[in-house]
Amino acid sequence: MGKPAARRSPGNAARPDAARKGALRLLNGLREGLSLADQPGALANLAPADRARAQRLALTVLRNIDRADTLLVEHLSKKPRPEVLDVLRLGTVELLEMGEAPHGAVNAAVGLVQSMGPKGRAASGMVNAVLRKIADQRDIWQTLPPEEMPDWLRDPIAAAWGEDTVLAIEAAHQAGAPVDFSAKPDRTAPGEALPTGSYRLDGQAQISALPGYAEGDWWVQDAAAAMAARLLDPRPGEVIVDLCAAPGGKTLQLAAAGAKVTAVDISGPRLGRLRENLARCGLSAEVIEADALAWTPAEAPHAVLLDAPCSATGTIRRHPDLPLIRDDSGIEGLAALQAALIDRALEILKPGGRLVFATCSLLQAEGEDQLAAALQRHPGLTVIRPDLPGIQPDWITDRGGLRLRPDYWPDKGGMDGFFIAGLQKPEAAR
């Protein structure tokens, strides 16, 4: 007589569904207008591995939600309740995008709807039948186009750069984003060294377990975002203000270069993350919670880095929830705030000093148009041409700004969308 089968503990048996249920809570929060980042409580009770899987599941669903619906509608006689539809979307994505075994993914989906009470149990037969049919549609799945951006974003991008660029950006959004790092000047970070000086890690990893994390050799920062501080060209001993600084990647770059940095941001919680990163990396900066429009430095800085509040439309490849919870209703107000912040940054800047303005936006209203308007408002400003390592000439605009897009570096995994402009304030009149 053989040994009795080993029992799986309830915790181990529940792990896959714990992550799936966490993903469904995140998707439900989106219907209430909350971004994934605005829902820390949705995953608070999960183990770290389950939390990471739940986030990965939710992100993958969001990158493929229209593709999933395209297939599902062919098998549904009527639209199911939203929470049941989310289970069907999750099952479809697990089957066709993530390569889960049909038996496990279908059974898990059925179990999820059965746990929703009488109405969920009534839908379990339908969920089982639909997903079994979906499992046979891998070939069709591969032919479906990437998720389309909403018209309020798609139309201005097409007007600026053409339909081919729109399609290339949508493909980049579909592919998601690798993890990039910035390292201290005398250190390296995991992954491949990129032409601009950042490092890129392909695939999934526990960040805190990577070599150099505990030593503070590097920090997570998209390669496009890192170019703003590189354009500013911080020098040892310079007094530099980082306005709208949190969560602090650019502050770390400036401090690592030996500058005397003051980091200003209106958000106390986000500044908490900045302080944690400074401490881990053994770097120092003065951190101030204040409204950048009202704050005055004790000493006029040599340089200001302004990463202004914006629509964040350049970050959709890592935040696919953004198009589902935002529209263009706030763009005009954001553009006005950006202009006011540029004016304030120039006001506090030492004569002859340098300002780098940046937004993680794909909209010219938050980039190219801001540069043109600033040059008109402030006669005497000169543009610092972004001739940086790894920059392609066609990334530089007619006025000397740096336009970065998700479809750049397609063979390397893309980059976030950014607009970055360097400005030199005129010397004081004699």
Q: How many CB atoms lie within 10 A of CB 342?
A: 25
Helix (H, G, I), strand (E, B) or coil at 182: strand
Q: Which residue type sits at 333? A: G
Please give the backbone phi and psi of residue 358, each rounded to the nearest 5 degrees, phi first.
Answer: -145, 145
* Both structure tokens of 28: 């439900």
* Matching residue, tokens 């496990």: 104
Q: Which residues are catalytic?
A: 360
- What is d(CA 283, CA 368) in angstroms, rounded to the nearest whole number? 33
The answer to whether 336 and 194 are in contact (CB under 8 A) is: no
For the packed helices 249-256 and 268-281, what is the interaxial angle rounded to 10 degrees?
A: 40
- Residue 248 pairs in a beta bridge with none
Q: H or E stretch including 276?
A: helix 268-281
Nearest residue to 256 (alpha-carbon basis) of 183, 357, 358, 181: 183
- Helices 223-232 and 249-256 sit at what angle, rounded to 10 degrees? 40
Q: Return the amino acid letter for 355.
A: L
Residue type, 308: A
Give the number of other Cβ atoms within 10 Å of residue 287's Cβ.
Answer: 20
Based on C-alpha coordinates, what's the Rg of the chain?
Answer: 24
Which structure tokens are listed for 47? 């183990």
